[in-house]
Amino acid sequence: MSTSETASFGYEDIPAEEKEERVGAIFSGVARKYDVMNDAMSVGMHRLWKDKFVRRVRPQSGETILDMAGGTGDIAFRMAPSGAAITVSDINQDMLDVGIERAAKRGIANGPEGLEWSRQNAEELSFPDRVFDAYTIAFGIRNVTHIDRALAEAHRVLKFGGRFFCLEFSTTQWPGFSEIYDAYSHKLVPKLGQMIAGDEDSYRYLIESIRRFPTMPEFEAMIRDAGFKRTKVEPILGGLVAIHSGWKV
Ligand code: SAM
């Protein structure tokens, strides 16, 4: 079905119905180099941001947690030692396959004894209502075509008392730093992508998609509109990255 609705794809506006496929092609293309590129692009800092994010989530044994857009498993691997029952979901099977291989290398079983891996579109989850204690999404939501639908689904699948956590790039408000970061990200990251992953365009998309993402207050308002209460934003590096959270009550 063709509609006149558009969606951002990096700095481009494209027909909304094309975004999912184009984002899919990006992540299928980078899946095998995704982890090494994350280290290169963030000079290892994504590891610290993810550690902090998981400290905020505070997964507990006996909880059920959905790690949405979980990709190659970085967030799930950090939560697994808690003993929580974790489902890693992503729309892209190539990303999940890399995650399943990484889990096997770490001795983490595929299934109820370890991690569950489930291909899902964040906008249209196949899970029933009110089954998860926590929903996490790290560096995933900006790739989704309809962010409001993904937030509504997050709210639907959480139990009452359940918590929502999102780690995402935003805009740093530190004077001077934003100019340096802008120059670095627009010029150097695509070159790094070319050198390491042989793919300049995908990394240009990743940077441009960060620029198009709503500001911290705008995104917090979207989380509230989805029904979450007691929403909070924790900026990291002046807001270069932010942890958003909210409760379903
Ligand atoms: N959470 C992982 C991490 O922090 O390393 C992976 C983040 S990666 C930048 C973004 C992920 O979002 C990709 O694996 C991509 O396939 C996934 N994604 C994009 N659109 C999605 C959608 N509509 N539903 C579920 N996952 C999606």
Mind listing the pLDDT tens digit of every residue in the chain (249 residues)? 445 799 999 999 999 999 999 999 999 999 999 999 899 889 999 999 999 999 999 999 999 999 999 999 999 999 999 999 999 999 999 999 999 999 999 999 999 989 999 999 999 999 999 999 999 999 999 999 999 999 999 999 999 999 999 999 998 888 888 889 888 888 889 999 999 888 999 999 989 999 899 999 999 999 999 999 999 999 999 999 999 999 999
Distances (CA, A) of 181 to 6, 30, 38, 127, 185: 28, 23, 16, 39, 6
Q: Are strands 85-90 and 64-68 parallel, antiparallel or unpaired?
A: parallel
Q: Is 167 in the pocket of ligand 1 (CB under 6 A)?
A: no
Ligand 1 mutation target, pool 57, 143, 149, most atoms within 8 A of CB? 143
- pLDDT, residue 32, reads 94
63 CB less than 6 Å from ligand 1? no
Q: Which fold, 21-247? A: Rossmann fold (3.40.50)
Please give the pLDDT value at position 2: 47
CB 131 within 8 A of CB 65: no
Task: Give bridge partners of residue 201 from the DSSP assignment.
Answer: none
Q: Enter the pTM of the model.
A: 0.96
| pLDDT for the residue 17 | 95
Q: Enter the DSSP assignment of 214.
A: P
DSSP H helices, the chain, are 16-30, 34-41, 45-57, 74-79, 93-105, 147-157, 177-183, 189-192, 200-212, 216-225
pLDDT for position 178: 85
- Rounded distance from Cα 140 to ligand 1 centre (Å): 4
CA separation for the pair 249, 236 (Å, rounded) = 27
Closest to 89 in 3D by CA, of 109, 69, 106: 69
Distance CA(64)–CA(159), nearest Å, equals 10
CA atoms of 19 and 205, how far apart (whole Å): 12
- Rounded to the nearest whole angstrom, what is the distance from the C-alpha of residue 176 to the centroid of ligand 1? 30
Q: Which of 21, 45, 92 to mutate to test the pocket of ligand 1 (most atoms within 8 A of CB)?
A: 92
Query: Does any ligand 1 atom lie closer than 6 A to the CB of residue 95?
Result: yes
Can you give the pLDDT at residue 181?
A: 87
